[in-house]
Amino acid sequence: MQNTENLNIESLTVMPSPAEVHAKLPLTEAAAKTVVEGRRTLEAILDRKDPRVFMVVGPCSIHDPVAGLDYARRLKVLADKVKDTVYIVMRVYFEKPRTSTGWKGYINDPYMDDSFRIEEGIQKGRDFLLKVNELGLPAATEALDPISPQYLGDLIAWTAIGARTSESQTHREMSSGLSTPVGFKNATDGDMDVAINAIISSSNPHSFLGVNAQGTTAIVRTRGNRYGHVVLRGGGGRPNYDTVSITLAENAIAKAKLPRNLVVDCSHANSYKKPELQPLVLRDCVNQIRAGNQSIVGFMIESNIEAGNQPIPADLSQLKYGCSVTDGCIAWDTTEQAILDMHASLKGVLNPRQA
């Protein structure tokens, strides 16, 4: 009999099961408290029971856990200062979608040397998330691999589905079973229908193949997730955070009979891929809220300790501390000032806001 399967598979390495990883790095009481409070607060903001806006802010991707925790500690101090108007969630992205090739993130290649020790990356990622949550800082991530949530999902308060995957049936089905609110980005060409259809799809029950806590293939049957919402990230070479674009997005959401919730990603096409423009995008949207906008409930910013980004050198000891190895970010000082300015501008403006 001729062989007809696995013709392009070099090897299959058995992963530790989600249960085994959880047993090695168990959820702590402090971390669980942060996760639950984070999810409930975000749900309350989306339900308009909490008038604040939320901010998902942090490195484009985590590659150095020491610098990542340094950033988290700074962010926690800032979060406490602005908590009466802005609810801060740290961006903790471990998986990076690639247009062609490139570093795929901390889970896939934690040593950044093409060794792809995924079994170690998943444990290192969980350890980092535990430490962030134990600071009292909720975490957000992008769900790229549909199996990863079984390993890490209990430590996430908010999930993004990227512009490349919002149209994916796999990711819509997965989102229907996630325990967090989920932000669906508009398509890379700016198409809003992709995100709206994803919200509708993920709000319904689904059944699909996945894995259980023991790592065994299982039929996953979901209840549906009613906390899907649109993330505007620009597209087709132009931003979509201006008042005209926001109004068009509101009309499209209303036509679909969905809650009028919009999150503005200040990066990507909204800043013409120039990270230093992100505070200007944020300021413009804050002014829209001050002028009476009711639909903008959150923001995303790519930020790190140092501004810009850097290539991954052959000698990893040459990496610049606290500087992104993926998309460019704004520096910590710039981030802190932008959020403090936002806090000052929104004081006394947000209560009450209408759905």
C-alpha distance from residue 13 to each of 23, 96, 116, 117 (Å): 20, 22, 11, 10
DSSP assigned state of 320: P
C-alpha distance from residue 45 to each of 86, 160, 199, 259, 353 (Å): 10, 16, 17, 12, 10
CATH number of the domain encompassing residue 109: 3.20.20.70
**Is pTM, for the whole model, over 0.75?**
yes
Would residue 8 count as lying in a domain? no
Residue 249 domain boundaries: 18-346
Helix 332-346 vs helix 65-82: crossing angle, to nearest 10: 20
On whether the CB atoms of residues 91 and 140 are closer than 8 A, the answer is yes
Would residue 1 count as lying in a domain? no
d(CA 11, CA 13): 6
Looking at the structure of the chain, the number of domains it has is 1
271 burial via Cβ count (<10 Å: 0-12, 13-18, 19+) = buried
Q: Which helix (H) or strand (E) holds 341?
A: helix 332-346
DSSP assigned state of 309: B
Would residue 351 count as lying in a domain? no
Would residue 181 count as lying in a domain? yes
Amino acid at 47: D
Tell me the two tokens of residue 345.
Answer: 């501008």
- CA 194, 197, 202, 203 torsion-angle sign: positive
List the pLDDT tens digit at each of the 355 positions of the chain: 999 999 999 999 999 999 999 999 999 999 999 999 999 999 999 999 999 999 999 999 999 999 999 999 999 999 999 999 999 999 999 987 765 568 989 999 999 999 999 999 999 999 999 999 999 999 999 999 999 999 999 999 999 999 999 999 999 999 999 999 999 999 999 999 999 999 999 999 999 999 999 999 999 999 999 999 999 999 999 999 999 999 999 999 999 999 999 999 999 999 999 999 999 999 999 999 999 999 999 999 999 999 999 999 999 999 999 999 999 999 999 999 999 999 999 999 998 887 6
Would residue 4 count as lying in a domain? no
Give φ, ψ of 250 to 5 degrees: -60, -40
Would residue 93 count as lying in a domain? yes
